[in-house]
Amino acid sequence: MPQPDSERDVAAVRAFNRFYTRKLGVLDQQLVKSPFSLSEARVLYELAHREDLSAKEIGAELGLDAGYLSRIVQNFDETGLISREPLPSDRRQYRLGLTAKGRQAFAKLERNTKDDVAAMLAALTRGGRERLIGAMTDIERLLGDGSVAPKPATLREPRPGDMGWVVQSHGALYAREYGWDSSFEGLVAEIAAKFLSSFDASRERCWIAEIEGAQVGSIFLVRHTDDIAKLRLLLVDPAGRGQGLGHRLVGECIAFAKACGYRRITLWTQSILVAARKIYHEAGFKLVATEPHRSFGQDLIGETWELEL
């Protein structure tokens, strides 16, 4: 497993933790506008959203020390925020629940927290909010439970800035995964620029896939002749893999091409792009020609695939 660049990386994470803690109004484990510590607020949240919880289950879920959690539960019981009933299966354990007073306290805490977050987001532009949520999603995905399935991607039309993402993402991903040089990024830039400069809305489309505001995929269908459309720039970022996104993108192209009256779709790919070739094959495309060539700093075998509509 690769090691972090020790001092710099560790310092960056710690600095972010300090900044984020201050930004959310959590200092010395005390929540703004609330008598509860952060841990106490988390316990209240669990009790408000789940039923028949024991202290042991809450401790395991939140990673709290048993002694510390016991003191929180005792305090909540003494102030009338929770009810405790012995579990029939283990009289040493208690089923916990919020009382009416506890639910009232949680409701106030929840309202204040939402107001604080809303005020923080209101200070940002729409683009800034999308970038923030996207970055938070990336952090959660990277540091969270890897077994959790990614949320399904949504497909949309391109917005300003998306073409830059398409170019950058193709260049970075193909350099990282296949060792291609910057000439490939240049080719992608040319394709994207031509799409923007001569876009025919009646016969051409671009789809951008995103998950919670972050771009994770792209595909283009452009006019080649009156009867033939060309499929270009299929990309699925690692963050969007594992949910059949490539098949969805290709399916959108096929459906749109049929609706436009095209009789055939053609595409050019490389023999080493195994995942993409599998998608094309399963969508009904046929390999019609191959040609060795030297491009993007590599010796490659180019392939032409076609689909009769």
Q: What is the torsional sign of CA 69, 74, 75, 77?
A: positive
The per-residue pLDDT for 45 is 86
Confidence of residue 58 (pLDDT cuts 50, 70, 90): confident
One-letter amino acid of 59: G
The per-residue pLDDT for 296 is 96
Mean pLDDT, residues 37-58 taken together = 81
Selection from 35-39, 101-105, 219-223 with the highest mean pLDDT: 219-223
What is the total count of domains within the chain?
A: 2
Residues 158 and 304 in one domain: yes
Above 90 in pLDDT, residue 271?
yes
pTM of this prediction exceeds 0.85: no
Q: What is the torsional sign of CA 254, 283, 292, 298?
A: positive
The per-residue pLDDT for 46 is 86
**Structural domain includes residue 140:** no
**Structural domain includes residue 56:** yes
**Structural domain includes residue 146:** no
- Answer for the pair 169, 237: CB distance below 8 angstroms, yes or no: yes
CATH number reported for the structural domain that contains residue 245 in this entry: 3.40.630.30
Mean pLDDT, residues 271-298 taken together = 96
The per-residue pLDDT for 142 is 75
Above 90 in pLDDT, residue 88?
no
Within 8 A by CB and 6+ apart from 276, the residues are 234, 246, 269
More reliable by pLDDT, 219 or 52: 219
Q: Write the DSSP symbol of residue 193.
A: H
**Structural domain includes residue 263:** yes
Residues 161 and 273 in one domain: yes
Confidence of residue 4 (pLDDT cuts 50, 70, 90): low
Residues 104 and 21 in one domain: yes
Above 80 in pLDDT, residue 268?
yes
**Structural domain includes residue 128:** no
Strand partners, 306: 266, 286
Within 8 A by CB and 6+ apart from 296, the residues are 174, 180, 181, 183, 184, 187
Residues 232 and 166 in one domain: yes
Q: Write the DSSP symbol of residue 57.
A: H
Q: How do beta strands 205-211 and 154-156 pair?
A: antiparallel
Dig out the tokens for 284 from the structure.
């009904």
Single residue among 103, 123, 143 that ends a domain in this structure: 123
Residues 176 and 291 in one domain: yes
Residues 16 and 93 in one domain: yes
Within 8 A by CB and 6+ apart from 158, the residues are 206, 208
CATH number reported for the structural domain that contains residue 96 in this entry: 1.10.10.10
**Structural domain includes residue 130:** no
Residues 213 and 81 in one domain: no
Q: Tell me: the pLDDT tens digits for 159-205?
A: 999 999 999 999 999 999 999 999 999 999 999 999 999 999 999 99
**Structural domain includes residue 279:** yes
More reliable by pLDDT, 233 or 150: 233
Confidence of residue 27 (pLDDT cuts 50, 70, 90): very low
**Structural domain includes residue 176:** yes
Mean pLDDT, residues 49-66 taken together = 80
Residues 275 and 196 in one domain: yes
Single residue among 107, 123, 139 that ends a domain in this structure: 123
Residues 195 and 279 in one domain: yes
Q: What residues make up the domain containing 208?
A: 154-308
Residues 93 and 183 in one domain: no
Confidence of residue 28 (pLDDT cuts 50, 70, 90): very low
Residues 195 and 246 in one domain: yes
The per-residue pLDDT for 2 is 47
